[in-house]
Amino acid sequence: MPDGADGGYRALVGELAALVRLAHTALSGVTAVLTDPADDGDGIPAAEKALAELLVRIEEDAAATPGGPAGVVVGVHVGCEVEALEQLARRLLEAAWARQEREPLDDRLRAPLHGIANAALDLVARSADALESGAAEGVADVLAELPEIGRRQRLLYELLLREPGTDPVDGTDLVLLSCCYQQCADRAGAIARHAVLFSHTGLP
């Protein structure tokens, strides 16, 4: 690949990683509100600010020229995953606003949700690192952790089934929220897989 295209590709990958980190910032803010009853709600404006910036940058990047053929492939694939993360963050934000009108989730049920959320957010952050570095071991680490999300989700569902007195709205919220975080983890895995798409050619 010519030097100019190579530089354009590297710049594109850096920008995509920055977008993933913005999505992580938004997800972290809303997660604090959803999983920590002591949170005073500061996470919501932080999430809204990150999402607003993310949306603007997604639109700007869509109009930019990719870094050669490799940039087209990686840009489209990772761009789709970033857009999906943005939509998931908005869905979680809507849930956070709705939960403000209700009592906090029971500690026994909130704890496993917190675990799922933290594990998913960790994978999103690590997928950005893997994208930027292109290191195969970083990608492998992200992919190896994906089953852990499913294990944590199963434990939450088993707990819900053992708690027949759980408020139906709370139970529904827990399942929907856990699904959102599971999808965030899946998106992180897809981003990581595309991080080494051209590693055999020495790029990025």
Tokens 């989730």 belong to: 105
Tokens 């509100």 belong to: 33
Tokens 């963050």 belong to: 89
Tokens 């809303």 belong to: 30
Structure tokens at 155: 């434990």
Residue 125: predicted pLDDT: 97
Tokens 């997604």 belong to: 58
Q: What's the Cα-to-Cα distance from 119 to each of 11, 42, 139, rounded to whole Å?
A: 29, 22, 16
Sign of CA dihedral 124, 126, 127, 132: positive
Distance CA 204, CA 28 (A): 28
Residue 6: predicted pLDDT: 66
Q: Which among 126, 153, 152 is positioned nearest to 141, based on CA atoms?
A: 126
Distance CA 42, CA 44 (A): 5
pLDDT in tens, the chain (204 residues): 444 556 777 888 889 999 999 999 999 999 999 998 777 668 899 999 999 999 999 888 766 756 677 778 888 889 999 999 999 999 999 999 998 888 888 889 999 999 999 999 999 999 999 988 888 888 899 999 999 999 999 999 999 999 888 899 999 999 999 999 999 999 999 999 887 776 544 444
Q: Which among 11, 14, 22, 13 is positioned nearest to 82, based on CA atoms?
A: 22
- Count CA atoms closer than 13 A to 71's CA, side-chain side: 22
Residue 204: predicted pLDDT: 45
Distance CA 116, CA 150 (A): 9
Query: Which H or E element spans position 71?
Result: helix 68-99
Residue 20: predicted pLDDT: 96
Residue 114: predicted pLDDT: 95
The residues near 38 (Cβ < 8 Å, ≥ 6 apart) are none
pTM for the full predicted model:
0.90
